């Protein structure tokens, strides 16, 4: 009996431990999101990305429409008409005859095929292909900009999560200190003033924590908006901090940015589109050869005008534009202006990218220096707090001095956290500035 009870107890304990481990693993999987996970989820479902993808599908339709010039046109037509008065002719001894019937019927199948247009259709297709390439580049640029927005939101949440934990730890220490001071007051070795100053400091930290919680709620709501979730959905993010690393020289970074940035690629693509448009405009004055054929049934043939008879027509057509009302001239003028605008836009983009790369690299260097400074400051604050605790217990400093030392320690922890996050954010921004993908 005892053995059975023992076995049952061990089985129950194993089951409880298994359930707890499974719940912890589930929480770890569902509660914590990595930056890459967030960006992937947002990009896969964000409305503006979906719209850009639809634009690419529209580009495919436009390419197909441009290619329709290669294919034949086939249509079926039919008509009925009643004419009056009817012209007649009278012949001696033969009687009076109608020149055509009053009721006319016609049904025909018509075919028209373009034979050769001297590259006019091909140039239109090439221009639509260039437009599709521009839509694809615009989609990549949108994803990059969206990643940058998510980056700021993500690390704001990470910082607030860490800051709240630091404030909670600070509150715990202050409450422990309050208990210690209350015991000293009970023994007569401390005054009520020390209790009040400690409570005031606790209240101040609680207010700070409330502000941080409010900011976290706002940032989480924005993150849920990115993810397409309810604003009240809890969000827990992983703290991913980049280790200090070497950064290339400024000239190297600028060269990469000019070669890789979507903005520069878009500027170059717009120039190619304008050149393709110019070719399309020039091709408008090219001649066109086409073949046509039509066959069907109609009445009106002598001598049996009321009888439907099979008929057909086949031929070859040639069209050569001579005057177009200066349409080509002004189209060329407009395209030339578009080319000039594209060149100016490319120069402006180049300057903006250069400024952005220089700024991002300077921010990375500054953030790296702040990491060293804040970590040194934290070590000093820890040493100062340890000495302050010893001195307070020895009675050589006041309660207020100890509280100030505790606050300095908490602020040093916050400073270290912020400097590491700032470095990570600025490093990722630099990668975006030189055209590297973070999604």
Query: What's the length of the chain?
Result: 439
Q: Give the per-residue pLDDT at 408.
A: 93
> Mutual orientation of helices 192-227 and 35-45 as an angle, nearest 10°?
40
Q: Give the per-residue pLDDT at 65.
A: 93
What Å distances lie between residue 99 and 102, 299, 303, 312, 383, CA to CA?
Answer: 10, 12, 10, 22, 120
Interacting residues of 296 by C-beta distance below 8 A, sequence separation 6+ = 106, 107, 108, 109, 310, 311, 312
- The CA distance from 35 to 300, in Å, is 80
User: What angle is formed at CA 324 by the lines to CA 319 and CA 330, rounded to 5 degrees?
Assistant: 135
What are the φ and ψ backbone dihedral angles of 110, each rounded to 5 degrees?
Answer: -115, 135
- Outline where DSSP puts E strands in 94-170: 95-98, 103-116
Contact indicator for 254, 357 with CB cutoff of 8 Å: yes
> Mutual orientation of helices 192-227 and 399-433 as an angle, nearest 10°?
20
Q: Give the per-residue pLDDT at 242.
A: 86
- The CA distance from 43 to 38, in Å, is 9
Q: Profile the chain (439 residues) by mean pLDDT over runs of 10 residues.
A: 38 35 37 86 93 94 93 94 84 77 92 92 95 95 95 95 94 91 86 90 94 95 93 87 86 94 94 93 91 92 84 93 88 92 94 95 94 95 93 87 91 94 95 91
Residue with token string 């057509």? 317
Other C-beta atoms lying within 10 Å of the C-beta of residue 121:
19
Residue with token string 């010893």? 390
**What residues form DSSP beta bridges with 317?**
290
Question: Closest Cα partner for 228 from 34, 8, 1, 50?
Answer: 50
- Cis amide bond preceding 375, omega within 30: no
Other C-beta atoms lying within 10 Å of the C-beta of residue 412:
22
Q: Is 88 exposed, middle or buried (0-12, 13-18, 19+ CB in 10 A)?
A: exposed
Q: Give the per-residue pLDDT at 31.
A: 55
For the chain, domains (ranges, CATH) are 33-70+109-286+321-433 (1.20.1600.10), 289-320 (no CATH)
Q: Give the per-residue pLDDT at 83.
A: 86
Cα 85 to chain center, whole Å? 71
């Amino acid at each position: 009996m005892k053995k059975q009870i023992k076995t049952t107890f061990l089985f129950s304990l194993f089951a409880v431990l298994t359930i707890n481990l499974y719940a912890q693993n589930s929480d770890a999987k569902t509660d914590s999101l990595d930056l890459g996970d967030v960006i992937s989820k947002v990009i896969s479902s964000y409305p503006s990305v979906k719209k850009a993808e639809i634009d690419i599908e529209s580009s495919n339709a436009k390419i197909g429409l441009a290619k329709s010039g290669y294919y034949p046109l086939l249509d079926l037509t039919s008509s009925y008409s009643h004419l009056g008065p009817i012209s007649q002719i009278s012949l001696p001894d033969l009687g009076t005859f109608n020149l055509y019937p009053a009721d006319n019927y016609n049904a025909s199948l018509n075919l028209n095929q373009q034979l050769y247009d001297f590259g006019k259709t091909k140039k239109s297709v090439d221009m639509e292909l260039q437009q599709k390439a521009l839509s694809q580049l615009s989609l990549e640029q949108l994803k990059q900009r969206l990643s940058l927005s998510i980056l700021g939101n993500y690390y704001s949440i990470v910082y607030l999560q860490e800051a709240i934990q630091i404030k909670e730890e600070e509150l715990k220490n202050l409450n422990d200190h309050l208990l210690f001071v209350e015991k000293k007051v009970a023994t007569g070795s401390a005054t009520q003033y020390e209790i009040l100053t400690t409570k005031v400091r606790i209240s101040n930290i609680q207010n700070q924590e409330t502000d941080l919680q409010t900011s976290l709620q706002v940032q989480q709501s924005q993150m849920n908006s990115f993810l397409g979730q309810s604003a009240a959905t809890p969000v827990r993010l992983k703290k991913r901090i980049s280790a200090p690393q070497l950064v290339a020289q400024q000239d190297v970074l600028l060269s990469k940015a000019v070669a890789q940035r979507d903005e520069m690629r878009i500027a170059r693509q717009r120039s190619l589109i304008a050149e393709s448009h110019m070719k399309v405009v020039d091709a408008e004055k090219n001649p066109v050869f086409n073949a046509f054929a039509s066959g069907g049934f109609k009445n009106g043939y002598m001598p049996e005008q009321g009888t439907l008879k099979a008929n057909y027509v086949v031929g070859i057509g040639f069209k050569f534009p001579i005057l177009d009302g200066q349409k080509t001239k002004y189209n060329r003028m407009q395209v030339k202006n578009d080319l000039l605008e594209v060149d100016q836009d490319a120069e402006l983009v180049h300057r903006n990218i250069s400024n952005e790369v220089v700024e991002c690299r300077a921010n990375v260097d500054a953030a790296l220096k702040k990491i060293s400074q804040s970590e040194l400051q934290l070590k000093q604050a820890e040493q100062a707090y340890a000495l302050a605790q010893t001195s307070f217990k020895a009675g050589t400093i006041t309660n207020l001095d100890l509280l100030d030392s505790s606050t300095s320690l908490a602020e040093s922890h916050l400073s270290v956290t912020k400097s590491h996050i700032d470095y990570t954010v600025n490093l990722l921004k630099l990668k975006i500035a030189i055209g590297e993908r973070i999604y």
